[in-house]
Amino acid sequence: MRKKILGTIVSAVLLTGILTGCQAAADSSQTAQVETEEVTEEVTEEVTEEVTEEVAQEEAATGGIARSIEEIKNDGSIKIGVFSDKNPFGYVDENGVPQGYDVYFAKRIAKDLLGSEEAVEFVYVEAASRVEYLLSAKVDIILANFTVTEERSQQVDFALPYMKVALGVVSPEGALITDPEQLKDKTLIIVKGTTAETFFTENYPEVEQLKFDEYQEAYDALLDGRGDAFSTDNTEVLAWAIQNKGFAVGIESIGSLDSIAPAVQKGNTELLNWINDEIKALAGEQFFHANYDATLKSVYGDSINPDNLVVEGGVIE
């Protein structure tokens, strides 16, 4: 009898485990189609992200309370979440010091809010836990290459954008593709699950697609000549083309424009307004162009127009 009861309970627990597991899998396959922007993420990380974002959603109902500007000032340091492995936006150099486009902006925020570039405590976040850090008020601001999406806007408040990302198309210089019409009846290399896949399938169905799971495979295929061009986020292809002689980005910006913005906890309007005012004020000195020159130029070189990436004053043309 005892064994029976125990058996029933254990199998019930197991069954719920399996059911929730399937549920999670079904959910993540749905969101995977929507969630196309984390293109530099590896597949495994994307899976973790789905899982953790689900956890985040379940817990989104309540929240820890974010610090007010006065509390931050009293504390003397602002907590900003940045990436530590997303060169050139947020990374750690060989001496263990945070660097990059996001970090440069974070230091400026600290300087203008608290009077010193050093008054910032960098918290290294993962793509998967960015929302959680804000919901639980473990950081004041997230500045981690955070793409504005509908889904995320329901959980956090985005400030004005300071960068934009679109698709880019890289191809051999000898047969440079400068217009998507040229791709007709040619082979375009795509990484599965990226924005590029959705965009070309919807808008240029006549383009033949050669799909890969990983970035490295896609780049190898382009090098081998298995395709005529490769498309993914422009930040990615632009950097790659600089490193690989004989290839150039013929189309620097195509498809829907995604904006990248700082985020604060939902409802933290005081800090949100402060950041928005800051971004508007910084336009006067072309701060983000200076930031580009300091952090991104060495990666993208002179060949591209900074205006394709940088947003000044929060205005996207």
Partner 1 sequence: MQDLGIQVLFRGTNFLRLWQGLWVSLQIAAISMLFSVILGIFLGMIMTGKNRIVRLLCRIYLETVRIMPQLVLLFLVYFGTAKHFGLDLSSEVSAVIVFTFWGTAEMGDLVRSAFLSIPSHQYESGYALGLQKWQVFFHIMIPQTVRRLLPSSVNLLSRMIKTTSLVVLIGVVEVVKVGKQIIDAARYDVPTSALWVYGTIFFMYFLICFPFSIASSYLEKRLKD
Query: Is 47 a binder of partner 1 (CB under 8 A)?
Result: no
Query: Is 95 a binder of partner 1 (CB under 8 A)?
Result: yes
Query: Is 311 a binder of partner 1 (CB under 8 A)?
Result: no
Contacting residue, 50, 102, 126, 278, with partner 1 by CB under 8 A: 126
State both tokens at 119: 């008054």
The Cα–Cα gap between 267 and 135 comes to 11
As measured in angstroms, the least distance from the Cβ of 57 to partner 1 is: 12
Whether residue 177 contacts residue 250, with contact meaning beta carbons closer than 8 Å, is answered with yes
Nearer to partner 1, 99 or 259 (CB): 99
Contacting residue, 132, 157, 252, 278, with partner 1 by CB under 8 A: 132
Q: Which residues, numbered 280-299, are part of the site for partner 1 (CB under 8 A)?
A: 299
Query: Is 151 a binder of partner 1 (CB under 8 A)?
Result: no
- Sign of the alpha-carbon dihedral angle for 61, 70, 282, 295: negative
Whether residue 50 contacts residue 28, with contact meaning beta carbons closer than 8 Å, is answered with yes
As measured in angstroms, the least distance from the Cβ of 182 to partner 1 is: 29
DSSP 3-state of 215:
helix
Stretch of 46-54, 106-114, 141-149, 180-188 lying at the interface with partner 1 (CB under 8 A) = 46-54
Cis peptide bond upstream of 88, omega within 30:
yes
Q: How many residues bind partner 1 (CB under 8 A)?
A: 42
Whether residue 67 contacts residue 80, with contact meaning beta carbons closer than 8 Å, is answered with no
The CA-atom distances, in angstroms, between 14 and each of 9, 10, 20 are: 9, 6, 10
Query: Is 304 a binder of partner 1 (CB under 8 A)?
Result: no
Query: Is 267 a binder of partner 1 (CB under 8 A)?
Result: no
Nearer to partner 1, 62 or 74 (CB): 62
The CA-atom distances, in angstroms, between 18 and each of 5, 57, 154 are: 20, 20, 29
As measured in angstroms, the least distance from the Cβ of 218 to partner 1 is: 14
User: For the stretch 243-275, what's the b/e string if a residue is b when 16 or more beta carbons lie within 10 angstroms of its beta carbon?
Assistant: eeeebbbbbbbbbeebbbbbbbbbebeebbebb
As measured in angstroms, the least distance from the Cβ of 16 to partner 1 is: 9
Contacting residue, 36, 129, 259, 308, with partner 1 by CB under 8 A: 129
Query: Is 15 a binder of partner 1 (CB under 8 A)?
Result: no
Beta strand pairing status for 187-191 and 78-82? unpaired
Burial of 85 (0-12, 13-18, 19+ CB in 10 A): exposed
Query: Is 69 a binder of partner 1 (CB under 8 A)?
Result: no
Nearer to partner 1, 55 or 176 (CB): 55
Query: Is 17 a binder of partner 1 (CB under 8 A)?
Result: yes
As measured in angstroms, the least distance from the Cβ of 243 to partner 1 is: 6
Q: Give the other-Cβ count within 10 Å of 13's Cβ.
A: 10
State both tokens at 203: 């808008």
Query: Is 138 a binder of partner 1 (CB under 8 A)?
Result: yes
Nearer to partner 1, 111 or 138 (CB): 138
Binding interface with partner 1 (CB under 8 A): 2, 6, 9-10, 13-14, 17, 48, 51-52, 55, 59, 62-65, 84-88, 91-96, 123-126, 128-129, 132-133, 135-138, 239, 243, 299
